[in-house]
Amino acid sequence: QDREPQKSLFTDLFGIFQQQLGRLAMSGGQIDSVMQEDRQFPPSAEFQAQASIGSLAAYEKLYDESIQNPEKFWGDFAEKELHWFKPYDKVLDWQPPFAQWFVGGQTNISYNCLDKHLTTWRKNKAAIIWEGEPGEQRTITYSQLHREVCKFASALKGLGLNKGDVATIYMPMVPELAIAMLACARIGVVHSVVFGGFSAEAIADRNNDAKAKVVITADGGWRRGKLLPLKETVDVALDKSPTVEHCVVLKRAGNNPPMKSWRDRWWHDLVETASADCPAEPLDSEHPLFILYTSGSTGKPKGIRHTTAGYNLYVKKTFEWVFDHRDEDVYWCTADCGWVTGHSYIVYGPLAAGATTVMYEGAPNWPQEDRFWDIIERHRVTILYTAPTAIRAFIKWGDHHVDKHDLSSLRLLGSVGEGINPEAWMWYYNKIGGGRCPIVDTWWQTETGGIMMSPLPGAIATKPGSCTKPMPGIVPAILDENLHEVGKNQGGMLCISQPWPGMLRGLWGDDDRYVQQYWTKVPGKYLTGDNSRQDSDGYYWIMGRIDDVINVSGHRLSTIEVESALVSHPNVAEAAAVGRPDELKGQSVVVFVTLKSGEANDALKQAMKQHVRKEIGALAVPDDIRFTNSLPKTRSGKIMRRLLRDIAAGKESVQDTSTLEDYTVLAKIRGDEE
Ligand code: WT7
């Protein structure tokens, strides 16, 4: 209270700088920023006192060390914090754009996540606290997890799987999903986790691209009270997956799917006779750990390839730094293991750090909209890591769901997946964090393996909507179309100038596409595909994907900024902004809006236009506002602006926008390629 921050949301920069910005935009081709967010939230003295990196100076020292001598920086951590069956000869071999880390060494991430803790007091610490959607609970200690992983790894060996083979994992969020990942890693089998919401077609595509030899699945899982018949979906996929020899099925839901005796085996039958003695295989540092398919600009998904040692070290260190992890924490990341967030910050990062990680199977609104708060209260969760799309849903569902619960155990909040609108940030901070928990807004990608930019919560004052500063070892650069670095407060393409241990090593079976996609437009730098700007304090602001930019009369507007202005209107729950071809302006702004209150009528539209005019300026005022019940999203919760662009341009015929509901379904189908 005594530090009530300055509140000036969006200053009408356009009113003042419109002409200059316009000229700059023409000459340099960078993106104009209209968002002026001045609020700052420094960590409390109390938080800083207990933090492992508890001052800006400590962060800066760490960062400087990492830049001055990256090989020493990462090498020291690798030597101290990973187990080496064979020491490496060289920290980094960089043949742009191909990096090898800890060359010549041998390690095993399953060993580093499990065996390493068994000689310490953490042996009997909870590794995973799991809750099923129907309400079952399990706590699994490191020692127990080790045993389960060893048994399942033995079972996979028994099926004839060898180092280098590929396993597709298509499972609900149950502990066996993490066990399967760790078991693969233990014996050098490369896993490819496919999100449990994807279609048979998507599974088959991924099986075929990776030449998977086994699919690990479950009979079913639970989502919003409904049973998802996973095995039946897999059966359809396997008809088109000639490389797959085995299918292992976990009994989770008891829905008795048909089993083909020549191909399908029950998990429990396999582990019953499998040995609990299965030492971790020494693997080369660059042995592939996993493939994770992600959206590309073309239809075909890209198989992002991550490897063993560098990834292991990067997710462990970033987990410890960003979440300021302490042994008494109960950490909950609400993602699904089908996404990279689940790989790096439910399974590998937390377990490598010896943390207690919570896993929840189901939906946030089952049986009620307070399920998350209920879980936090009962398990005394101290760190919550979730996504803006979830936060906006909570706001829409109403504060009374939150008010029913004691959230005093929380000490730190995280956000990931897309930019967080300042209004949603403020709600998260005040309503969930009680004004006492720092928010770490973490920017990264499937490709980057781990968090690239985020506040370190004891060191860096946060600003709503900014991912603040780079991690140690990360060197960002913002370039204009002519590949010149832009100045402060100018948007441009976000690139990374130096290799880092967690970076992707390539695309599965397609190195040309890897070079083409990430290293060609800007030679020598990793192209993230995001736009960004740095403010006068050196803070980074992500401005959305490069192709999300709306160009109005020569001014490039960032979708997130228009959306944030709309979300700050009291009636608005969520907003998606897209550009529509316009004869005069090049593009005009069309927004799709879901309401949390108020009536969807013309008066409200006018009020909202007025609001945007006030928050940003005339240029950003939408030409068209369309109310809808929900926004079409990819399976990972990203708004499908491409689809909305087509609707806005009249390419997709919809009678009225309320039928956008149907597009959610359509979007889900298309989300497979998105
Ligand atoms: C893209 C990567 C990061 C793991 C989950 C998504 C967007 C992600 C943020 C953030 C603004 C963000 C970017 C990025 N994004 N986090 N904190 N602020 N944008 O992984 O599916 O590979 O998506 O998500 O556009 O490029 P992904």
* Residue 225: other Cβ atoms inside 10 A: 11
Q: Compute the average pLDDT of residues 520-537.
A: 95
Which atom number of ligand 1 is nearest to the Cα of residue 636? 21
The pLDDT confidence band at residue 664, using thresholds 50, 70 and 90, is low
Mean pLDDT score of the chain: 90
Q: Does pLDDT of 36 surpass 80?
A: no
Query: What is the band of 87 on the pLDDT scale with cuts at 50, 70, 90?
Result: very high
Q: Which atom of ligand 1 is nearest to the CA of 453?
A: 17
Q: Which atom of ligand 1 is nearest to the CA of 341?
A: 4
pLDDT for 558 equals: 78
SS3 for 286-312, per residue? CCEEEEEEECCCCCCCEEEEEECHHHH
Answer whether 443 contacts ligand 1 (Cβ < 6 A).
Answer: yes
Render pLDDT for 489-518 as a digit per residue (tens, 0 to 9).
Answer: 999 999 999 999 999 999 999 999 999 999
95-106 pLDDT per residue, tens = 999 999 999 999
Ligand 1 contact via 548 beta carbon (within 6 Å): no
Strands (E) located in 622-664: 624-627
Which residue from 541, 542, 548, 674 has its CB within 8 A of the most atoms of ligand 1, so it is best to mutate? 542
DSSP assignments along 574-627, one per residue: EEEEEEEEETTTEEEEEEEEEESSS--SHHHHHHHHHHHHHHT-GGG--SEEEE
pLDDT of residue 296: 57
Tell whether ligand 1 has an atom less than 6 A from the beta carbon of residue 532.
no
Which pLDDT band, with edges at 50, 70 and 90, does 1 fall under?
A: very low
CA-proximal residue: ligand 1, atom 19 (nearest): 418
pLDDT score at 670: 41
Q: What is the mean pLDDT of residues 296-304?
A: 70
The model's pLDDT over 213-269, given as tens digits with 9 standing for 90+, comes to: 999 999 999 999 999 999 999 999 999 999 999 999 999 999 999 999 999 999 999
Whole-angstrom distance, CA of residue 558 vs CA of residue 578: 10
Which tokens belong to 276?
């609990």
User: pLDDT tens digits for 441-461?
Assistant: 999 999 999 999 999 999 999
Residues in Cβ contact with 60 at an 8 Å cutoff, skipping those fewer than 6 apart: none
Nearest alpha carbon, ligand 1 atom 11: 419
**Residue listed under structure tokens 């609400």:** 334
pLDDT the model gives residue 30: 52
The Cα 578–Cα 647 span in angstroms is 10
Question: Residue range 622-643: average pLDDT?
Answer: 84
Residue 383 and residue 364: Cα distance in Å, rounded?
Answer: 17
Are residues 302 and 100 in contact, defined by beta-carbon separation less than 8 angstroms? no
- Burial of 58 from C-beta contacts in 10 A (0-12 / 13-18 / 19+): middle
Strand partners, 90: 103
What pLDDT does 14 receive? 26
Question: Given this model, what pLDDT does residue 614 score?
Answer: 83
Residue 445 CA to ligand 1 centre (angstroms): 5
Residue 668 near residue 640, CB atoms below 8 Å: no
Residue nearest atom 23 of ligand 1, based on CA coordinates: 445
Q: Which residues partner with 582 through β-bridges? A: 586
Reading the block at residue 519, the tokens are: 């290293």
Q: Is the pLDDT of residue 21 over 50?
A: no
Give the separation between CA 162 and CA 146, rounded to whole angstroms: 20
Tokens 């996929």 label which residue? 237
What DSSP designation does 281 have? Answer: P
Per-residue pLDDT band at 545 (split at 50, 70, 90): confident
- Rounded to 5 degrees, what are φ and ψ at 128? -125, 130
* One-letter amino acid for residue 22 of the chain: G
User: Which of 173, 111, 172 lies closest to 142 in space, CA to CA?
Assistant: 111
Confidence of residue 201 (pLDDT cuts 50, 70, 90): confident
Would you state the pLDDT for residue 659? Answer: 42
Q: What is the pLDDT, as a whole number, of residue 9?
A: 27
Q: What percent of the chain has pLDDT over 70?
A: 90
pLDDT at 556 (0 to 100): 65
Retrieve residue 658's tokens.
Answer: 């309320």
Beta bridge partners of 217: 170, 249
Residues at the binding site for CoA are 223-226, 341, 365, 553, 613
* C-beta 445 within 6 A of ligand 1: yes
**CA nearest to 248, candidates 329, 183, 340, 155:** 155
**pLDDT for 2:** 31
CA of 446 to the centre of ligand 1 (A): 8
Closest atom, ligand 1, to C-alpha of 454: 17
Q: What is the CA angle 92-63-446, rounded to 5?
A: 60
> Is residue 634 in contact with ligand 1, taking CB distance under 6 Å?
no
Say whether pLDDT at 54 is over 80.
yes
Residue 640 carries which side chain, given as an amino acid letter? M
Rounded to an integer, the average pLDDT of 345-362 is: 98
Q: Predicted confidence band at 632 (pLDDT cuts at 50, 70, 90)?
A: confident
Question: Which tens digit of pLDDT belongs to each residue from 158-190?
Answer: 999 999 999 999 999 999 999 999 999 999 999
Tokens 């990096």 locate to 99
What residue has token string 């005069």? 584
Judge whether 28 and 484 are in contact, CB under 8 Å: yes
444 lines ligand 1 (CB under 6 A): yes
Helix (H) or strand (E) holding 514: helix 511-519
Alpha-carbon span 253 to 235, nearest angstrom: 17
CB 377 less than 6 A from any atom of ligand 1:
no
Q: Which two tokens stand for residue 674?
A: 């998105």
Is residue 442 within 6 Å of ligand 1 at its C-beta? yes
Quick check: 207 pLDDT over 70? Answer: yes
Q: Is the pLDDT of residue 5 over 50?
A: no
Q: State the Cα–Cα distance between residues 43 and 457, nearest whole angstrom.
A: 7
**Concatenated DSSP letters for 213-230?**
SEEEEES-EEETTEEE-H
- For the segment 397-431, what is each residue's pLDDT rounded down to a tens digit? 999 999 999 999 999 999 998 889 899 999 999 99
Q: Is the separation of the CB atoms in 459 and 466 below 8 Å? A: no
**3-state DSSP assignment of residue 155:** helix
| CA atoms of 431 and 425, how far apart (whole Å) | 10
Please check the confidence at residue 35 and state whether its pLDDT lies above 80: no
Closest CA to 353 of 551, 547, 120: 120
95-107 CB burial, b ≥16 within 10 A, e <16: eebebbbbbebbb
- Indicate which atom in ligand 1 lies nearest the CA of residue 467: 17
Looking from the CA of residue 560, the nearest atom of ligand 1 is: 11
pLDDT by residue (tens digit) across 566-619?
999 999 999 999 999 888 777 899 999 999 999 999 999 999 999 998 887 788
Burial 110-137 (b: 16+ CB within 10 A, else e): bbbbbbbbeeeebeeebbbbbbbbeeee
Predicted confidence at residue 12, as pLDDT, reads: 25
Which of the 8 DSSP states describes residue 36?
-
Q: What is the pLDDT of residue 636?
A: 73
The identity of residue 438, as a single letter, is P
pLDDT of residue 639: 82
* pLDDT recorded at residue 672: 36
Least confident of 30-44, 108-122, 144-158: 30-44
Between CA 413 and CA 432 the distance in angstroms is 9
Atom 20 (ligand 1): residue with closest C-alpha?
445
Q: Which residues have C-beta within 8 Å of that of residue 612, sequence separation ≥ 6?
A: 562, 565, 566, 620, 621, 622
Q: Whose CA is nearest to atom 1 of ligand 1?
A: 445
